[in-house]
Amino acid sequence: MPIPRSLFCADDPVDHELSVVSGEWPPELSGELVLSAPHPDTFGGPHPFFGDGMVYRLSLSAGTHGAPTGGFAWRQRRIESPSARLRALRPDVFTSTMVGIQSPFGHSNAANTAPLPWGDRLFMTWDAGRPVEIDPVSFDYLGEVGHRSEWKDFEVAPQPLLPMVLSSAHPVIDPDRNAMWTVNTHWGQLHVVRWDGDGALRSWPVAGATIPQSVHTITQTRDWLVIADCAYKVEPQVLTGGERTEPANADAPVYLVRKDALDATPVGQEVACSVFRIAPEVNHYYADYDDSDGIRILFEHTESAELAMTQRSDDLDAFGRPCDPALAGLYGFPMAPDRLTTVVFDPATATVLHRDELRDPELLWTRQLNAMDWSTEGRCAPTLHHTVHQGFRPEAITQRMLALYGDRVDRSLFPAEETPPLLASMNTDDMCLTGHHEFAMDDFPTSPIFVPRDAGSDPTRSSYAGSDPGGHDGFVVVPVVNDDGFRVEVFDAHDVGRGSRCTIAERGMTLPFVLHSAWMPRAVSSSEGTGVRFSDELDRIDELPDDLAQVARQVAADLDDRVPMASRTAPR
Ligand SMILES: [Fe+2]
């Protein structure tokens, strides 16, 4: 069965009310499922990752946020950032490219990749733009993190108002410092960035740390930040529509930076790092917060997964069949079976102390995304890691991608036919699979979350923690796309192999392509802003023609009228 075509439905999303269609909703399951996604109005363009940021929120307690008794509120909105507002007013000057949406204003900040909760605050992130804060209830835009002048932007074409900031879609929140850590890559030089929730950014170049490709993720332990080069390769000629000539790099440097070194180094001065190399290629990786016995990192390898290259209507698929034009623009699915490893590093001796691996070429293909216990307690001592896999999907692998990777792809591992999607759980101690659930061939499970069973019940723990943290005591909630209707399935985290214990849905509802998800224990309106106003970033407005300058002034005035001002401070 094919990949659901409803993934690429370009209709404007709308709100829904879901209700139980099978099983019984666990009464101890609560909080909010938040999803990031590109608005579908750019599907059919050169890449599905670049539409304006959308936020979707599913309330996991029936009858809340405007839902009727027994109903689960599904709410959505396009994030009305300066980029999205400018594009809405002058769509004629915006162009979709392989690296995002460009315009005379600059590079749109899509803010469409991952929700990043920080207590009750909510940020939406992207690799090529600043994190954007929104109100978790109304989804109102509250501001971008850091004044433009505090970031090093990547300006190869004029960007008078919208800078391309090469950052990370996965910053981390430091529970000991109550601060956000992220990165800013500038012409290959890695900088670490710290932001304390308001006021100015602090940033440090990392000595000798170059990024050959990009940084999608950063992760942290109590004492260290860990930053790997990620397998999303943008060759210069691709910026102007040229063909790829090289595959993503087969291995990557991993930089480890001590947090206390950052604490002690004046802003702007170099900080030292330790360097390791990791292979095969990676995009997502997660360190245990407790580093007393070494730095343990779970790497979700993206071996021969060509995310930066998309399908064309005249392509042939992995089996030599003509690709369906309906999938034009779809990124490349993995050409190798999934591989996950845990690696323990000793930064003092620059050695790898231990390595475990999970790889099952018959079962695990096309890992999509993961679910884990994100509480500080859960990150200190993780127990189970949960992943969603789409199965082997030859229609999403093109002959052009296979030719680019050549001998790096072992085609003898290809199953004879498509394999089903899965939800899998693995023990983080030894990477052994503890259970899996098989979905129907025409399902497309996406963006799962872990929800602790009794979050907040123990006042001595953090608000995101249950009474038994780690990822086993609670639920895995999985949104499932299917052309016959979207649904959300609930699994017991300790035993996903028993299958779904409850399903909610609404007749006729479909869901277009989405990216990462996150869980929040509650959604309360935010009165905080990030301290930066678009109207404070208009110093280069005179570079624009008069008609576009007028549009920018209108957007700035509209945002000044709408965004709460009480907590705002001028950029330092
Ligand atoms: Fe990601």
**Pairing status of strand 487-492 against strand 53-59:** unpaired
CA of 216 to the centre of ligand 1 (A): 6
Residue range 304-321: mean pLDDT, rounded: 93
Q: How far is CA 320 from the centre of its chain?
A: 32
Please state the φ and ψ torsions of residue 345, each to the nearest 5 degrees: -105, 150
Residue type, 219: T
CA of 285 to the centre of ligand 1 (A): 10
CA of 511 to the centre of ligand 1 (A): 19
Residues 139 and 525: their CA atoms lie apart, in Å, by: 9
Confidence of residue 286 (pLDDT cuts 50, 70, 90): very high
CA of 320 to the centre of ligand 1 (A): 30
Residues 537 and 106: their CA atoms lie apart, in Å, by: 13
Query: Taking a C-beta distance cutoff of 8 angstroms, is the pair 219, 299 a contact?
Result: no
Q: How crowded is residue 54: how many other Cβ atoms within 10 Å of its Cβ?
A: 26
CA of 545 to the centre of ligand 1 (A): 37
> Helices in 326-436 by DSSP H: which ranges?
376-380, 399-405
What pLDDT, on a 0 to 100 scale, did the predictor assign at position 348? 82
CA of 560 to the centre of ligand 1 (A): 32
What pLDDT, on a 0 to 100 scale, did the predictor assign at position 45? 72
82-89 and 546-562 helices cross at what angle (nearest 10)?
130
Residues 123 and 372: their CA atoms lie apart, in Å, by: 19
Residues 118 and 538: their CA atoms lie apart, in Å, by: 29
**Reduced to 3 DSSP states, what percent helix, strand and coil does the chain have, rounded to the nearest 5?**
15, 35, 50
Q: What is the pLDDT of residues 364-408, one digit of tens each?
A: 999 999 999 999 999 999 999 999 999 999 999 999 999 999 999
**Pairing status of strand 121-125 against strand 114-118:** antiparallel
Confidence of residue 138 (pLDDT cuts 50, 70, 90): very high
Residue 562: which of 572, 552, 550, 554 has the closest Cα?
Answer: 554
Q: What is the pLDDT of residues 243-281, one digit of tens each?
A: 889 999 999 999 999 999 999 999 999 999 999 999 999
Q: How far is CA 276 from the centre of its chain?
A: 24
CA of 232 to the centre of ligand 1 (A): 11
Q: Rounded to whole angstroms, what are the CA distances from 160 to 151, 202, 348, 402, 554?
A: 14, 23, 45, 40, 16
Confidence of residue 567 (pLDDT cuts 50, 70, 90): very low
CA of 370 to the centre of ligand 1 (A): 10
Residue 248: which of 404, 414, 111 has the closest Cα?
Answer: 404
Show the beta-strand stretches assigned E in 333-428.
339-346, 351-358, 367-371, 384-389, 422-427
CA of 449 to the centre of ligand 1 (A): 14
CA of 27 to the centre of ligand 1 (A): 31
95-97 sheet: strands from edge to edge = 95-97, 100-103, 106-107
